[in-house]
Amino acid sequence: MDKKLGIKRPSLPGFSLNVTVDQLLKNEFDLLRQEGRAHELMQRFGIEAVPYQHPDLNKWRNNFTGKQYLHEPTNILVFGAIDDIWINKNQELLIVDYKATSTSREISLEDQWKQGYKKQMEVYQWLFRSDGFKVSSTGYFVFANAAKNRPKFDAKLEFAMTIIPYEGDTGWIEPTLKKIREVLESSELPNTGEKCEYCRYRELAGKAVL
């Protein structure tokens, strides 16, 4: 409805605290990037890598430019804004995504709503690999988990840091792009997604209006 009819989804407020954590982590890793040194978190979790240096890094991080790749078979421009890239001893790029949260549960990637994190990582891996970069299938999620059990706030948050590796599989992306192209060229609206809350809302709202 957005691309075909120009009907956009309602906007959401910005996640200011999450964005701030992301920026502070970028600043921290950038200091080490200039020196070619590994972060203590990498050492703690046994990751043999250093922050990757590239003149386009800031462009790739920008939400309005990101890393772009034109998929010629479908003429679809795919892009995404990364958080960070590390490089290992085999000169493979490691895609890194920062996540800020606050939970007493063990940090994992198994929650249903985190499956989108995995897809996001795989798209980033595909973008760089498609553009000729040597990219490892292993990416990393850096979680900053704010503690809730402190007796007082004292105007500060304390975070426990965790790095979770993820083995990406990008095989679904090109078939999905072909399906996207087919939908865009179709004159019929696709069926609502079973797990799409927005689709369900639009469907029920339309019925209520009629």
At 164-184, the pLDDT tens digits run 999 999 999 999 999 999 999
Q: How far apart are CA 93 and CA 85, in angstroms?
A: 6
Buried b (16+ CB within 10 A) or exposed e, 153-162: eeeeeebeeb
The 10 Å Cβ neighbour count of residue 100 is: 20
Collapsing DSSP to helix, strand or coil, 114 comes out as helix
Domain spanning 2-209: CATH 3.90.320: yes
Evaluate if residue 203 carries a pLDDT over 90.
no
CA distance linking residue 17 with residue 15, whole number of Å: 6
What are the residue boundaries of the structural domains of the chain, listed by start?
2-209
Q: Is the pLDDT of residue 49 over 90?
A: yes
Residue 41 has pLDDT above 90, yes or no: yes
**Residue 133: its pLDDT value, please?**
98
Residue 9 has a pLDDT of 77
